Amino acid sequence: MEINRYIDHTILKATATSEDIVELCKEAKEYNFFSVCVNSGFVPLAKKELEGTDVKVCTVVGFPLGAMSTAAKVFETQQALKDGAEEVDMVINIGELKSKNFKQVEEEIAEIKKTVGDKVLKVIIETCYLTPQEIVLASEIAVKAKADFVKTSTGFGNDGARLENIELMKKAVEGKAKLKASGGIKNLDTTLSFIEAGVERIGTSSGISIVKELKK
């Protein structure tokens, strides 16, 4: 199994420096990860570092709270694409979902998907703040809005990816969107259990140790 090709090699912490991004890209090239995932301000640097390789540049939008205006998220998306991002992981407006403003949540995702076009949009629903019913609803809304992936977590909430939530998401999307698990995935066993559950992408900052564990 080419486990490295499941991995979005990620650094999103507030203290990440330019040197950290350069190192992240170097590691991604060495281990041939699917992508690097960085905050949108670092997209131009990541793009430059990965020039001429197969490693994609993924970025986050409306991160990590999802509570900014749709216009702000759309602008951030446009700028990230202009700077060379090939995949966008957006955070839904969690408060609007919990307020039962489902149409607004769907319209926002659809607007960003329109901006992303034929590139990949992953929708972060931040499962740790949602009830099982809300997880199903959020996943269904993402599919209706034509998202390519539904993703569990930012890694900044009070919990990360859980298998039981992936099961709910998988059922809800009915094969119309792919699944990404992120948040707290640090070892091979956990990674494999998510892949077995149907996840097609793993967001982690522990990609190197996971790959090394597999080689052992």
pLDDT tens-digit readout, 128-153:
999 999 999 999 999 999 999 999 99
* List 8, 83, 89, 148, catalytic entry: 89
Q: Is this prediction's pTM over 0.75?
A: yes
Contact 101, 137 (CB under 8 A): no
Q: What is the 3-state secondary structure (H, E, C) of 150-211?
A: EECCCCCCCCCCCHHHHHHHHHHHCCCCEEEEECCCCCHHHHHHHHHCCCCEEEECCHHHHH
- Short-list 74, 174, 153, 150, CA closest to 117: 74
Whether the bond into 64 is cis, omega within 30 of 0 = yes
Is position 89 annotated as part of the catalytic site?
yes
Q: Is 20 a catalytic residue?
A: no
From first to last of the 216 residues of the chain, give the pLDDT tens digit. 799 999 999 999 999 999 999 999 999 999 999 999 999 999 999 999 999 999 999 999 999 999 999 999 999 999 999 999 999 999 999 999 999 999 999 999 999 999 999 999 999 999 999 999 999 999 999 999 999 999 999 999 999 999 999 999 999 999 999 999 999 999 999 999 999 999 999 999 999 999 999 998
Ramachandran quadrant class, 174 (left: phi over 0; alpha: psi -120 to 50; beta: rest): left
Say which of 47, 151, 170, 178 is annotated catalytic.
151
Catalytic residue among 47, 56, 122, 180: 180
Backbone angles phi, psi at 65, to 5 degrees: -90, -30
pLDDT value of residue 1: 78
Name residue, tokens 């140790």.
209
Which top CATH class is 3-215? alpha beta
C-alpha R_g of the chain = 16
Catalytic residue check, 180? yes
Length of the chain in residues, anyone? 216
Cβ(105)–Cβ(141) under 8 Å? Answer: yes
Return the pLDDT at 63.
98
